[in-house]
Structures are given as structure tokens and as C-alpha cells.
Amino acid sequence: MPTMLTDVLRGNPIHLPHSHQPDFASLMSYTWTCRDDPLFAVAPSPPAAGENIPLIDLNQSDVASHIGRACRTWGAFQIINHGVPLELLQGIELLTGSLFQLPVQRKLKAARSDTGFSGYGVARISSFFSKKMWSEGFTIIGSPLNDFRKLWPQLHYNYCDIVEQYEEQMQKLASKLMWLSLDSLDVSEEDIKWASVSSDLNWAQSALQLNHYPVCPEPDRAMGLAPHTDSTLLTILYQNNTPGLQVFRDDLGWVTVPPVPGSLVVNVGDLFHILSNGLFKSVIHRARVNQIRSRLSVAFLWGPRSDTKISPVPKLVSPDESPLYRSVTWTEYLRTKATHFNKALSMIRNQREE
């Protein structure tokens, strides 16, 4: 039996310094003092003139090369005509809104335990920061039935149905996007046997992360979700109509990803960066908060089964160089990330002779 995501997370508990219930009463503990590091500066960054992550129509011709370019330059893009029914996007938004609107005592019935992985709580990356984040989250791995029954004694079956349909659509889409991106590098199923489409998709696993960023009285001092990369192959993010997501580019700084109704945002994660031998960027991103409107987002975090070894595709490594990274499973990588956070990638990088 291969280790599953759930085993990894159970074996690597994150001891969160704060209570699982965001307590937005004390503003001080949510004040991110401006550091010199541009990654953590919370003051609004000047708008990057005209620059934005590409908006890609999945029906357009030459879609693979557009996606490939976006993965190399940004590590992120938005997609339209993705085939996920609008009603399903509306359904998951409704579910997310309804979950976070529940009285806090009810939400706490489904609180993530210290050693747990699913359920209600603050962001997992909170343990790496001394300041609190202005958000609350709900993680779903596997069936949400037990938790949903506690949240909605009446309606839990309907909500489970929505999650199941959403995950099914996301899995199909994620695999399609991965192969389109790889196609742009001339990498085919022959080159990555474990990811073959004919293997019935059971080589993948995923988590669903629901996020809520309440209205904030002092948004320029607060952080919704601190800068991070996802450890996935790909993440597909649905955001409601309130802006907040920002991606980081070395040459541009923070760039806001404007909500486009009905679209989805796609992020390259660390494992795809490794697989592509560093050609695709795992994008640093964060979420800002807002004084006027609350914000919801739903992240579908997608990667290989925990026992699959991910290493740079040999075709993408030049013959006279060693691969940029050594091989890792998602399990090993999540473990490294749980202790070393944003140093994780550099820890599995092969040393090169200058």
C-alpha cells in the first residue's frame, strides 16, 4: 500500500502557534511590519504597468505553446473555455461561502486537529510566521462526509456531491493542462511513463483548500496568505470576484491577478518545476485582503501518488550537465517543506561544479 497524502500529513504534524479559530479582534497580532525584503513588504506595490499573467483560451489554436510560454515566464496563467460548467463553479463558491458563514462554534466542530490534515483552521504555513494571517481555511483530503455532517446536519449530502463533482472535473483538467505544458517542451508519454493518460488517472492525488479572507479594517498592514509556492505539480484556483491574489516576478515585483468571471487560475508548483528541470517556474504567490469586500478562493492542489519518484525529465537535461534536482516523492518533499518551508527546493538541488 503506497503512502497517501493523508499518511504524510499525519506523520508530519504542524504545530500551529495560534488557536485554530482566527481571532480578528486583536489587530496587533495581524500587523505585518514592513521588512526590507520586497516579498514581505505589505504596502501596496505600484501597479506593474500593463503586465499581467496571460489569459489563455483553451480552444485557441496553438494552445500548448501559449501555456508553455506562460509556465516558463510566469509560472501562472488564467484559463477560459476550460470546460468546467459554470454551475459547478457557482456551486463550489456557494458551498465555500456558506461554510465560512457558519457560526464559529459550528466550524470548530470540524476543526483540524494538531495531527490532522482535513478540516477547519488557519493556513498550514502559519507556523513559519510570527504574525497571524487574515484568513481562515478548510482543507479537504478524501471524503469530506464526516466533517460536512458536523457542519450541515441537513445538507451535507448535497455539499459532498458538489465537492465530488468539482474534484472530478479538476482532475481531468489538471491532467490535460500538464500534458499541454509538456507538449510545448516536446515531452510525451513515452518520456514519463508513470503519468501516462491510459493509466486511468490513478497515479494522481489531490487536496482541496477552501480559503476565506474576511473584510479587513487595515488591509495595508495585514496579510491574507503569506508568500509561498505550492508543492504540487499544478494548482488550479478559483477565486470569487474580489481581487487579492498576487504573483511575484523578480523583474516586476507583485502583480495582482484580476478576477475574470468564469475563469480559473493555474499555478506551476514545485514538483512541476523539478520535473521540467527548472524550465517551468513554481510561482511565488500570496493573497492580500480588502477593506470593502470579503474574498473566497478554492485551490485544487494536484500531484502524483506519494510513492512516485519525480525527477527532471532526462530529455530536458543537457548531456554534459547533471539534472538540476535529485529525485523526490511528494511525500519526501512535503516532509522537507514541513521543516524547511521555502528552503525546500534548494535542499534537493544538485550541486553543480562551476
Ligand X SMILES: O=C(O)CCC(=O)C(=O)O
Q: DSSP assignment, residue 115?
A: T
∠ CA(163), CA(57), CA(293), 5° rounding? 55
Q: DSSP assignment, residue 46?
A: P
Q: Which three cell numbers stand for residue 351?
A: 550541486
Interacting span for ligand J5X (CB under 6 A) from 22-30, 76-84, 99-107, 122-130: 122-130
Interacting span for ligand J5X (CB under 6 A) from 53-61, 163-171, 178-186, 227-235: 227-235
> Using CB under 6 A as the criterion, what x/- string covers residues 139-168 for binding ligand J5X?
x-----------------------------
Binding residue (CB under 6 A) for ligand J5X from 136, 147, 337, 348: 337
Nearest approach in angstroms of CB 19 to ligand X is: 20
Q: Which three cell numbers stand for residue 136?
A: 481562515
Binding residue (CB under 6 A) for ligand J5X from 233, 301, 310, 324: 301
Of the CA atoms within 13 Å of residue 6, those in its CB half-sphere come to: 9
Binding site for ligand X (CB under 6 A): 209, 211, 225, 230, 237, 239, 244-245, 285, 287, 297, 299
The active-site residue, picked from 295, 305, 335, 349, is 295
Which of Fe ion, ligand J5X, ligand X, none interacts with 287 (beta carbon under 5 to 8 A by kind)? ligand X
Helices of type H across the chain:
5-11, 63-73, 86-101, 104-109, 145-151, 156-183, 270-275, 330-340, 344-347
Which of Fe ion, ligand X, ligand J5X, none interacts with 337 (beta carbon under 5 to 8 A by kind)? ligand J5X
Which of ligand X, Fe ion, ligand J5X, none interacts with 296 (beta carbon under 5 to 8 A by kind)? none
- CA dist 193 and 128 (Å) reads 36
Q: DSSP assignment, residue 142?
A: S
Residue among 42 and 284 whose Cβ is closer to Fe ion:
284
Residue 123 touches ligand J5X, criterion: CB under 6 A: yes
Residue 169 amino acid letter: Q
Residue 118 touches ligand J5X, criterion: CB under 6 A: no
Residue 111 amino acid letter: A
Residues 224-283 that bind Fe ion (CB under 5 A): 230
Residue 239 touches ligand J5X, criterion: CB under 6 A: no
Residue 315 amino acid letter: K
Of the CA atoms within 13 Å of residue 37, those in its CB half-sphere come to: 6
Binding residue (CB under 6 A) for ligand J5X from 184, 232, 277, 308: 232
> Helix, strand or coil for residue 131?
coil
Residue among 70 and 283 whose Cβ is closer to ligand X:
283
* Site residue total, ligand J5X (CB under 6 A): 14
Residues with Cβ within 8 Å of 163's Cβ and at least 6 positions away in sequence, in order, are 92, 95, 140, 144, 208
Establish whether 295 is a catalytic residue: yes
Residue among 226 and 313 whose Cβ is closer to ligand X:
226
Residues with Cβ within 8 Å of 51's Cβ and at least 6 positions away in sequence, in order, are 249, 252, 255
Tell me the catalytic residues: 295
Interacting residues toward Fe ion by CB under 5 A: 230
